[in-house]
Amino acid sequence: MSVKLPDPVIVARQEADQINTNRHQFLAGNLQRAVADSPFVDPDELLAGLEQFHRERVARAPSTTQYPEAKPWIEHVLAVDRELQAVAPLTDAELAAYRSLSHYLMFRGYANAGPTTEKCRVVYLPETDQGPLHIKNVDDPITFWKPNPDPFKNAGMSKGLIWDGVGSGLHMDDEPEEIFPLPIPDMCHELCDDVPGAIELLTRYSQFWGGQNIVLHDDQKRSVAIEKGSYNYIDVFEPGTAGGSHCSGMAFRQPETAHGRFARDKRLQYLQRFNQPPDGPDMTYWNACDRAEEMLGNLMNQEFVTVQEVFDLLTTPWPKGLNKGGEKLHPDQGLGEYTLRTSGLLFDKRRIYFWQRDIDGVYPDKPLVFDIP
């Protein structure tokens, strides 16, 4: 299949523009966050090998015999980063932190010393009382939050294969053989137009992506959820009783799978490595993530789910609902989590519902509603 990739100069300059809207958030925020959540680890020791890891990562291009689709993407990735470093501009250390921090911490960084925050949840339902629904919560600390002043500026109807995901990594993971930063979501969108094709590609390229759980759905209303906390495993889940798919951050819905057992062992290894108690902030946090997944799974396994039921669950404050309000689940937790925004799309009505916290961190009682022309 011939693939026409976007001009790397244009891609890099668009990315540079995004970085420069809030350089501190994009370039230093994640570093500060890792250190803030890791009081028991020397930060200099934790980050000492980051630049070396990034250099090694971009040098380890995959075999184009084994991965033929990757060939045009390898040079594209390198060209984008060359241009990005020049126009942003970025130092070698900043580029390494921007591109490879999470991978370095997970594979080599003296263990990822601090909770990987549970980011969000995604729901897709092909049938509700108001037609197909796609909705997502986005959670993060509120430290760098800036509300979007024009959330509907680029609103449009999505077609073809839709990919939406949540952060769901492990603090410590076994480093896979393949670590080159292939842009797997971009490859999937370019090469696949339906769920079956995407599953095949994502399974074959499994070593190149992880640290996230995703929902895929297509124009035929087919959907799956994929759990990919580790780069070494992939679990694919068919739709639930209500006919739709969902995913939650930092959750393994079937702990008895090889992936689930591996994740449990890595979590225990992390606690033991840093002499952390079994009732400390990390285990308390993971248990809360499991509870959030259970709440969402219970809704999705009803015979039929209404739009209002989904809205209520995602916007009701924790612990009755899944809207995080900055609560610290344990006194020693580093940063509180907030549901910063919630966005839902009703396909048949071409209607978007959007909630976002204001600059003071207040979540609205009612959503903004926008009808796509």
Residue type, 245: S
Which of 93, 245, 112, 98 minimizes the C-alpha distance to 168?
112
Q: Which phi and psi (to 5°) does residue 65 adopt?
A: -75, -45
* Cα dihedral value 288, 339, 351, 152, nearest 10: -150
Q: What is the reported pLDDT for 40?
A: 63
From CA 303, how far away is CA 174, in angstroms rounded? 39
Task: Residue count of the chain, please give it.
Answer: 373
Q: Which phi and psi (to 5°) does residue 140 adopt?
A: -170, 160
Q: What is the reported pLDDT for 1?
A: 59
For the segment 267-324, what is each residue's pLDDT rounded down to a tens digit? Answer: 999 888 888 899 998 899 999 999 999 999 999 999 999 999 999 999 999 999 999 9
Q: What is the reported pLDDT for 116?
A: 45
Q: What is the reported pLDDT for 38?
A: 64
Which of 280, 301, 213 minimizes the C-alpha distance to 252?
213
Q: What is the reported pLDDT for 3?
A: 86
For the segment 146-196, what is each residue's pLDDT rounded down to a tens digit? Answer: 899 999 998 999 889 999 999 998 889 999 999 999 999 999 999 999 999
Q: Domain coordinates of the chain in residue numbers?
A: 8-107, 121-170+211-371
The CA angle 5-165-137, to the nearest 5 degrees, is 130
Q: Which residue has the tokens 């070698």?
A: 92
Low-confidence ranges of the chain (pLDDT < 70): 1, 36-41, 110-119
> Which ranges of the chain would DSSP assign to H, the alpha helix?
8-21, 23, 30-36, 43-47, 50-59, 71-87, 92-107, 184-191, 195-204, 258-273, 281-300, 307-315
Q: Which phi and psi (to 5°) does residue 207 adopt?
A: -65, -20
